[in-house]
Amino acid sequence: MSFGALSTFRDYAAAKLDDHLRQALRCARLLSGEQMWFRVNERSNSVGNLLLHLRGNVAQWIVAGIGGRSFERDRPAEFARRHPLPTEQLVADLESTVSDARRIISGLSDARLAEPVSIQGYDTTVVAAVFHVVEHFAFHTGQIVWATKVLLNVDLSLYDAHGRRLDARNAAP
């Protein structure tokens, strides 16, 4: 990648994390406490579990794995939790973690992006780790949006009929 491309990647990755976070949290705030922890079946995750999981993933891969901060993750507990946590606690924890991740991503040098790193047992590069987190966040945000539509029978109106974002952001869908 050229230096301009790396700068664009950093900016875009941070912006997409914000976009996905905003969508996921909008959904979380629409749901009741009971709906936040509803599971269709035992093989499915609740929105609450997905928010816990997103926080764990971002913290492990970006904040700890790239940023060097200490973080102990209990990944199975993210999915196993059945006792509800307050929505605002989940929201605040995820917002704080994504904010830390954005600062870390925005501060990465071109050289650092190319460096090898080992996270969660995977040998990868910093740029690939950032890409993984953004892609992973997008995947689960889609699940959260879908669950919210199913639970509330609402049109969340993220895009207009022509595929343009309704919040007027320029990031491509």
Tell me what the mean pLDDT of segment 145-156 comes to: 94
Asked if residue 84 is part of any domain, the answer here is: yes
Q: How many structural domains comprise the chain?
A: 1
pLDDT (0 to 100) of residue 74: 92
Amino acid (one-letter) located at 71: F
Tell me what the mean pLDDT of segment 3-32 comes to: 92
Give the residue numbers spanning the domain of 139.
Answer: 3-152
pLDDT (0 to 100) of residue 4: 74
| 3-class SS of residue 165 | strand
Question: CATH number, domain at 13?
Answer: 1.20.120.450
Asked if residue 169 is part of any domain, the answer here is: no
Asked if residue 28 is part of any domain, the answer here is: yes
Asked if residue 51 is part of any domain, the answer here is: yes
pLDDT (0 to 100) of residue 24: 97
Task: Quote the CA–CA distance of 68 and 62 in Å, as a whole number.
Answer: 8
Distance (Å) of CA 103 to CA 15, 45, 168:
11, 29, 24
- List, for residues 23-54, the tens digit of each pLDDT value: 999 999 999 999 999 999 999 999 999 999 99
Q: Is the pLDDT of residue 135 over 90?
A: yes
pLDDT (0 to 100) of residue 168: 45
Task: Quote the CA–CA distance of 173 and 168 in Å, as a whole number.
Answer: 12
Task: Quote the CA–CA distance of 30 and 26 in Å, as a whole number.
Answer: 7
Asked if residue 11 is part of any domain, the answer here is: yes
Task: Quote the CA–CA distance of 15 and 19 in Å, as a whole number.
Answer: 6
Asked if residue 171 is part of any domain, the answer here is: no
Closest CA to 137 of 10, 6, 15, 5: 15
Asked if residue 161 is part of any domain, the answer here is: no
- List, for residues 46-77, the tens digit of each pLDDT value: 999 999 999 999 999 999 999 999 989 999 89
Asked if residue 172 is part of any domain, the answer here is: no
